[in-house]
Structure 1
Amino acid sequence: MADLGFEVKEDTALSRRRFPAWLRPLLMLSVPLLLIVGGAWLYLAGRAHESTDNAYVQQDKVSIAPEVSGRIVEVDVHENMRVQEGQLLFRIDPQPYRIALRQAEAALAKARVEVDELGAEVTVADVDIATARSEIAFAKAEFDRQAELLNRGFTTRARYQAAQLALAKAREQMNTATSEARKARVALGSGAAASNRPAAVEAALAAREEAMLNLSRTEIRAPASGIVSQTDRLQVGAMLPAGLPTLSLVADGHSWVEANFKETQLRKMHTGQKATITIDAYGRALSGHVESIGAGTGSEFALLPAQNANGNWVKVTQRVPVRIAIDAKSDRPLIAGLSAEVSVDVRSKTAVN
């Protein structure tokens, strides 16, 4: 025990020699002061930045669906395959649509033949009208001459009546020819269409164009460059209805981060403010800026928005989606859906482009 007491006294003496008496009060004051300064700095830094870890990488996603129905006869892609814009993804059996195109072309040819026949009928009717007009002129002159001769007593009433009957017959032929011409023109088309393309030909042309369009739609191509996914439905021999989403395409070239900030964090936030983005998968910071602030909270765009007009209402802090544009291109792939942390510098008062 005596040895132990001696060692303690020796350690106490050594500590006194290391820390003089005048330094101990200074240390006692500086430590709390440093804690106060550090706390104040953290408080001010917290007020200058708004942060959230409720953020995710987003990219343009296209849901690809065939515009015509049919059986799949060719598949040229697989899961997570990179494709270029315009590259063939899969093909639907084109044979039914080739047949439909031939039928449309035959209908167009028939319509043109019918139009030519109607045009010939119009021409014949016009000739008949001209002939009837000449016969009316001749019969009118003969009738006037017989009437004059009858008044002078140089002809008989029978000849006068014969001339009158011939004039009436010529006028009747004129009416018949005019009616036939009118019918032919109605069948052919009237106005500008008659001199350009009649309605029957226009309809047949439209049907052929639709058949050609449907045939071209049997080849489903990539609308943009990117990576295809969800290709499980693409099996040769499977039947696909028109409009059914079949696979997805994550397009290249445009990535952003959607950060869901609390509504209380938006007081000083506006577009153009600088932001720091840290992708969890890589742990590296990227620079960005606030591109836009959502027009509503996430719950407002739900299929069934919450109804708070009842007696069991509980106030819950809402989150608003904020789009953060990425300024610097990452050397690592930004995969849609990756988690991220976002910190926005809200000290700037004006938007920065």
Structure 2
Amino acid sequence: MTAAHSTDAAKQRPRTWPAILLIVLAALAVFAVIWRVDTVPRTDDAYAYADTIGVSPEVSGKIVTLAVRDNQAVKQGDLLFEIDPRPYQFALERAQASLAQLDAQIPLTQRTVNAQGFSSDAARSAVVRAQAAAKQAGDTLARMEPLIAKGYISADELERARTAQRSALAELAAAQAQAREAQAAVSSVAALVAQRAVLQAEIATARLNLEYATVRAPFDGSVVELRTSVGQFVSAQKPVFTLIDTRHWYVVANFRENELGNIRPGTHATVYLMSNTRLRFSGSVDSIGFGVEPQDGGGTANGLPNIQRSINWVHVAQRFPVKIRVDHPDPQLFRIGTSAVAVLQPGRRDNSARRARSDGAPS
């Protein structure tokens, strides 16, 4: 009876080792997850990104040639569209004609200037002659005046000498006036030469505007948001469509702030797109965001922190964008805004990052 009772008690005693084993395994799993999160950060809050520009003409006019269509891939230097070049061609021809006319006018004006210079020289020579005549008349009068008292000359002869002197002085004054007038009449071609420089600048501007009438792709890319056609009037500095720079593709991944400690520019990354999860692409961290807009009352007003009065018991970690450059993107898969997944390996660094550190660049 006692043996049977002990056997039943043994059967009813619960076995504790499976529960202990389960707890140990769960703890190991939690530790492994935490270790992997700390050592291999991963996020699916990511998207594909590429730089874009708004293709804007430098001049205004009607589109006469539209060489691309929406979502078309283009190469650097390919024709995108052409604005009616006739107004700018006419402006160039008009400036060139004005320059030719001025070039023909400058020699004629120079000959006139030379003639004016010769007249001025002749007037100065006349002044010299008049000065010599006036001096001679004055000397003659000075010699004759003492002789009148001695009776060597008559009063009539002395008066004629005085008249000759006054006449010589009058001719000298007239010659000096003519010399000043001739000198004032001498012009210059300096103003025409300066005008020529202005016309040359206008010609250069007209040539540049004519060149701007043809818009070409500044880099390899894809045309998007094309909503116009031939005949549309476009204005300078206003985008006609958007061009995606497909030379470089990135994945912008938003990581929690407590995962940024070991992430540096150059950190190796593996990314894949949700449009095709079978393909993996390698890359490296290009940069890490240094600021985001606070969503929990951390904004500033008049330079002072604006702290909300409510307190959340559960604090959600802020996320910061990490820009990852993809090494060899598939041009058929990568599109701006495509959902992506990014996995970082902080222990691995790209060769480019190692070279940057060896050159003294900050990591």
Cα 1:56/1:84, change in 2 over 3 Å: same
1:258 partner amino acid: V
Cα 1:29/1:321, change in 2 over 3 Å: closer
Match of 1:115 in 2: 106
1:16-165 alignment runs, 5 A limit: 30-153=21-144, 156-165=161-170
Match of 2:182 in 1: 177
Give the Cα separation in 2 of the matches to 1:340 and 1:174. Answer: 91
Match of 1:188 in 2: 190
Match of 1:326 in 2: 326
**Structure 1 unaligned regions, length at least 5:** 1-23, 190-196
Secondary structure at 2:179 match in 1: helix
Cα 1:336/1:47, change in 2 over 3 Å: same
Q: Tell me whether 1:274 sits opposite 2:271 in the alignment.
A: no
Give the Cα separation in 2 of the matches to 1:328 and 1:74. Answer: 34
Match of 2:247 in 1: 253
Secondary structure at 1:334 match in 2: coil
After alignment, is 110-119 or 333-342 more displaced? 110-119
Give the Cα separation in 1 of the matches to 2:217 and 2:331. Answer: 25
What is the TM-score of this pair, normalised by structure 2?
Answer: 0.75
The answer to whether the Cα contact below 8 Å between 2:300 and 2:306 also exists between their aligned partners in 1 is no
Aligned-pair CA distance for 1:29: 5.2
Secondary structure at 1:66 match in 2: coil
The answer to whether the Cα contact below 8 Å between 1:298 and 1:321 also exists between their aligned partners in 2 is no
The answer to whether the Cα contact below 8 Å between 2:248 and 2:325 also exists between their aligned partners in 1 is no
Aligned-pair CA distance for 1:169: 2.0
Give the Cα separation in 1 of the matches to 2:176 and 2:275. Answer: 96
Q: Deviations over 1:83-123 (max 9, x none)?
A: 22222222222222222222222322333344344433322
Secondary structure at 1:40 match in 2: helix
Secondary structure at 1:156 match in 2: helix
Match of 1:12 in 2: none
Give the Cα separation in 1 of the matches to 2:126 and 2:45. Answer: 95
Give the Cα separation in 2 of the matches to 1:133 and 1:217. Answer: 57
Aligned residues: 315
The answer to whether the Cα contact below 8 Å between 2:50 and 2:248 also exists between their aligned partners in 1 is yes
Identity of aligned residues (%): 29
**Structure 2 unaligned regions, length at least 5:** 1-14, 145-157, 357-363
Give the Cα separation in 2 of the matches to 1:178 and 1:313. Answer: 90
Q: Tell me whether 1:214 sits opposite 2:214 in the alignment.
A: no
Give the Cα separation in 2 of the matches to 1:289 and 1:245. Answer: 33
Q: Tell me whether 1:236 sits opposite 2:230 in the alignment.
A: yes
1:98 partner amino acid: Q
What is the TM-score of this pair, normalised by structure 1?
Answer: 0.77
Give the Cα separation in 2 of the matches to 1:34 and 1:263. Answer: 29
Q: Deviations over 1:215-253 (max 9, x none)?
A: 2222222112222222221x1222222222112222332
The answer to whether the Cα contact below 8 Å between 1:292 and 1:324 also exists between their aligned partners in 2 is yes
Secondary structure at 1:105 match in 2: helix
The answer to whether the Cα contact below 8 Å between 1:111 and 1:204 also exists between their aligned partners in 2 is no
Give the Cα separation in 2 of the matches to 1:142 and 1:265. Answer: 108
Cα 1:236/1:330, change in 2 over 3 Å: closer
Aligned-pair CA distance for 1:124: 2.4
CA RMSD between the two structures: 3.2
Aligned-pair CA distance for 1:290: 1.9
Cα 1:306/1:30, change in 2 over 3 Å: same
Aligned-pair CA distance for 1:156: 0.7
1:263-342 alignment runs, 5 A limit: 263-283=257-277, 284-297=279-292, 312=308, 318-328=318-328, 330=330, 333-342=333-342
The answer to whether the Cα contact below 8 Å between 2:71 and 2:222 also exists between their aligned partners in 1 is yes
Aligned-pair CA distance for 1:158: 1.7
The answer to whether the Cα contact below 8 Å between 1:115 and 1:188 also exists between their aligned partners in 2 is no
Give the Cα separation in 2 of the matches to 1:131 and 1:287. Answer: 90
The answer to whether the Cα contact below 8 Å between 2:79 and 2:216 also exists between their aligned partners in 1 is yes
Secondary structure at 2:243 match in 1: strand
The answer to whether the Cα contact below 8 Å between 1:298 and 1:320 also exists between their aligned partners in 2 is no
Aligned-pair CA distance for 1:40: 1.6
Aligned-pair CA distance for 1:320: 2.8
Give the Cα separation in 1 of the matches to 2:25 and 2:317. Answer: 35
Secondary structure at 1:198 match in 2: helix
Match of 2:359 in 1: none
Aligned-pair CA distance for 1:329: 5.1
Secondary structure at 2:247 match in 1: strand
Give the Cα separation in 2 of the matches to 1:269 and 1:208. Answer: 55
The answer to whether the Cα contact below 8 Å between 1:93 and 1:218 also exists between their aligned partners in 2 is yes
Match of 2:200 in 1: 205
Q: Deviations over 1:176-200 (max 9, x none)?
A: 222222xx23x733xxxxxxx7221
